Amino acid sequence: MGQEQDIQQASSLLSDGKDLPEGKENQQAACFSSGKGTSGQEKGKDHNSSSQGGDMQAALKAIGHEKDGPVSSTLCRLFAVWAGKRKVELLVGVGISLLAMLLGIGILSFAVLRIASSVLGSIFLGVWVLRVLGMGRVISRYGERLYTHNAMFKALMDLRVWFFKAIAQSSSAGLAFLSSGDLLSRLVTDISALDGLYLRILLPFCNAALACVILVGVALYCHAYMVAVILGGVFGFSAFGLPAIMAAVTYKISRQKGVQQARLRVTVLDLVMGLREIWAFGAEERMLNRIIEQEKSLETIQLRQIRAAAFAGSGAFLAMQLGMAFVLIAAMRTDWGLIAPIAAVFILFLLVSVNDLVAGLTRSGVQAGTIVRAAQRIMGVTAGDRVSPQTSGKKVMPTDLTIRFKNVVYSYPGRKKPVFNDLNLTIKPGSHMALLGSSGAGKSTLVAMLLGLVKPQGGTISIGGVDLSELDGEALRNHISWLSQATHIFDDTIRANLLLGKDDASEQELWQALDHAAIGDMVRSLPDGLDTWLGEGGIKVSGGQGRRIALARILLRDAPILLLDEPTTGLDSTTERAFLELLNQIEPTRSLILITHRLTGVEKLDQVWMMENGVVHPMI
């Protein structure tokens, strides 16, 4: 696919962790990409790469340079995603966690009281109380781990679904602003890291807050006011102050770590997708060295994070030990009158019982930067400067399917030159037309607008006089069949790939669509017929056969508008002409919009329009 060369070029830009001058990036990319063009199919890949390479390279250069949203609003939006289905489960998990901590403190506290009372010769607690508390502690602790982790796994599942829907709105029609490696890093690493927000930050924080109240409350109950103040300060610093400081200190480190992880993934994808070219040019050692350099950079960042964690852990341990030492000294110096010996022993055991909790919060403070950064990267897919859909209405599709672009204006965020500047175009129902334009002229952007994926910044787009923003999105998609320049063939059977276009299609309808795409006889000749496995990306069929299967898939939908965006990308000239001749057989009742950079002469068209400088003008 065209992304192969895009990723190769982009990883060259990122290999040194900085942008390279223009020209040098192409030079480095050439070192690891072969002379594609030895066949018509390879030429098609080269064109696809050139038409998409600009956006892909810009996206990969932007790794680590995007703006972060405010932490508070990011976390609020994240919890809003979870609150829909998992609010009750997450809150119940907090309750179970607090119960487990109370039972842990209770069993230790009552053990101290029993020991102290036995020393004084007045045992007032039976062993059965400790046994009940002990069993309750074991059961509640197990239940807490099981329940909270299960709730978090469900929340992460919901977040992955939400994330997929969010990127689907911005990445369709070739308008993704995320590279494959960066997208994979967000979908896998960043979402997985967010389990720590609930399990390692929120739950321990709630436990620590309750423990602090109990600790200070016991000291006040024993009239040890000075001890209550000092222990409250020590515990507050160890459990809340130090983790907050470390979170702020390590945030920058965590950002660098996330950026470097994304760059490493791009480099690895580069190696995997370009193994043929790497072997042909004998560049194995150079590519491996590049990965080693990326790993060393990541290791350096991770070591900084580990040192910060060690420092924070030492600081918290020292603070808690000083607190215990103060209690012991206060108990021994009875002349100070700060605390009674039995109360001191009770408080010491309380401090011991919450010591692990404080240590965990300190580690969480170091990880907080990573978690917050992951949340910002995940929620960033719906930031204001992303591409936003424009179909949010409820109106049904009109019977008149005349498509009209009127005074349309659109510019990509961060680009000075507009893609469209007062664009006007009318496409009548049943007309077969072609829209020509060079790479970067805005052909794919126009497709995205017609599909309702992108909202124009000025002007209107209407069907039958109804603005696209007022139409129901699903109804619009049901009326348009779209074949993109990089249509994906799934690693599944021919039948399953066709049913993507119409999931309730009958066997007869499947064969009819294949025959209309001139691929039916080939499928019949296969031993498994419709149940033939196509392999990843349709690797088990030729490029032309894969395109015909994709054409059959859109013909199966029986939509009145066919939208073909560079449909012959990756085909040799003979196969390209044969494929385009098939389009001439499409019923005149269907509108055909062919987006391409050139015509071959075999097309039978009613209109041909040229797109340049943000406007269109007729050629015939």
Partners of 432 in the β-ladder: 592
| Of 43-47, 99-103, 186-190, minimum mean pLDDT range | 43-47
Per-residue model confidence (pLDDT) at position 387:
44
Round the CA-based radius of gyration of the chain to a whole number and report it: 32
Q: How confident is the model at residue 77 (pLDDT cuts 50, 70, 90)?
A: confident
Which residue has tokens 């080939």? 522
Q: Is the pLDDT of residue 452 over 60?
A: yes
Task: Supply 28's token pair.
Answer: 């480095």
CA quadruple 314, 315, 316, 322: dihedral sign: positive
Q: Two tokens at 431?
A: 């007309």
Read off the pLDDT band of 304 (50, 70, 90). Answer: confident
Signed CA dihedral, 165, 168, 169, 171: sign only: positive
Torsion of the alpha carbons at 585, 590, 591 and 592, rounded to the nearest 10: -30
Flag the least confident range among 163-177, 328-342, 466-480. 163-177
Residue 92 has pLDDT above 90, yes or no: yes
Q: Is the pLDDT confidence value at 35 over 70? A: no
Report residue 524's pLDDT band, with 50, 70 and 90 as the boundaries: very high
Q: Whole-angstrom Cα distance, residue 249 to residue 368?
A: 10
Tell me which amino acid residue 336 is: W
DSSP per position, 391-453 = ----BPPPS---EEEEEEEE--TT-SS-SEEEEEEEE-TT-EEEEE--TTSSHHHHHHHHTTS
Q: Tell me how far the alpha carbon of residue 411 is from its chain's centroid.
A: 25
In this model, does residue 173 exceed pLDDT 60? no
Quick one: which of 1, 16, 9, 20 has its CA closest to 53?
9
Q: Which string of DSSP letters, residue by residue, matches 227-246? A: HHHHHHHHHHIIIIIHHHHH
- Mean pLDDT (whole number) for 276-300: 84
Measured distance CA(81)–CA(84) in Å, rounded: 6
- The Cα 261–Cα 142 span in angstroms is 34
Contact (Cβ atoms closer than 8 angstroms) between residue 378 and residue 456 = no
Mean pLDDT of 348-373: 81
- 320 pLDDT above the threshold of 50: yes
Above 50 in pLDDT, residue 230? yes
- The label of the residue with tokens 């209690």 reads 327
Q: Of 11-15, 71-75, 150-154, give the lowest mean pLDDT range.
A: 11-15
Residues 389-410 have a mean pLDDT of 79
Higher-confidence residue of 95 and 248: namely: 95
Residue holding tokens 């024993």?
222
| Top mean-pLDDT range of 125-139, 484-498, 569-583 | 484-498
pLDDT for res 95? 92
Question: pLDDT grade, residue 493 (50/70/90)?
Answer: very high
Nearest C-alpha neighbor of 44 from the set 91, 94, 5, 75:
5
Least-confidence region, from 38-42, 64-68, 304-308, 560-564: 38-42
DSSP 199: I
Q: What is the pLDDT of residue 54?
A: 40
List the structure tokens of 303.
């070591």
Buried b (16+ CB within 10 A) or exposed e, 511-548: bbbbebbbbbeebeeeeeebeeebeeebebbebbbbbb
Whole-model pTM: value is 0.62
Q: Which of 58-72, 157-171, 400-414 has the lowest mean pLDDT?
A: 58-72
Tokens 């032309």 found at? 544
**Structure tokens given for 262:** 């994304």
Residue 147 has pLDDT above 90, yes or no: yes
Pairwise CA distance, residues 289 & 55, whole Å? 27
Instruction: Please state the rounded mean pLDDT for residues 208-226.
Output: 86
Name the residue with tokens 């607190």.
323
Calculate mean pLDDT across residues 364-378.
Answer: 81
Once rounded to an integer, what is the mean pLDDT over residues 330-348? 75
Residue type, 465: G
Alpha-carbon distance values, 555 to 79, 144, 246 (Å): 42, 53, 58
pLDDT of residue 357: 81
Maximum average pLDDT range among 19-28, 188-197, 263-272: 188-197
Whether the pLDDT of residue 572 is over 60: the answer is yes
For residue 68, is it left (φ>0), alpha (ψ between -120 and 50) or beta? beta
Dmax over CA atoms of the chain, in Å, equals 108
- pLDDT of 395 over the 80 cut: no
Q: What is the mean pLDDT of residues 270-279?
A: 79
What span, in angstroms and rounded, lies between the C-alpha atoms of 539 and 489?
9
Domains with residue ranges and CATH for the chain: 3-61 (no CATH), 71-382 (1.20.1560.10), 403-618 (3.40.50.300)
Q: Rounded to whole angstroms, how far apart are CA atoms 206 and 100? A: 12
Average pLDDT over residues 568-593: 79
Stretch 424-453: mean pLDDT, rounded?
Answer: 84
- CA distances to 42, 46, 130 from 107, rounded to whole Å, are 72, 70, 6
CA angle (272 as vertex; 266, 273 as ends), nearest 5: 85
pLDDT per position as a tens digit, 178-191: 555 567 777 787 88
Structure confidence at residue 46 (pLDDT):
39
Q: Report residue 526: phi and psi, to 5°.
A: -75, 145
pLDDT digits (tens, 9 = 90+) for 65-75: 455 557 777 88
For residues 166-195, average pLDDT: 66
pLDDT at position 149: 92
Distance between CA atoms of 261 and 269, rounded to whole angstroms? 12
Contact between 298 and 268 (Cβ < 8 Å): no
What pLDDT is recorded for position 585? 80
| pLDDT number for residue 169 | 60
The mean of the pLDDT values for the chain is 76
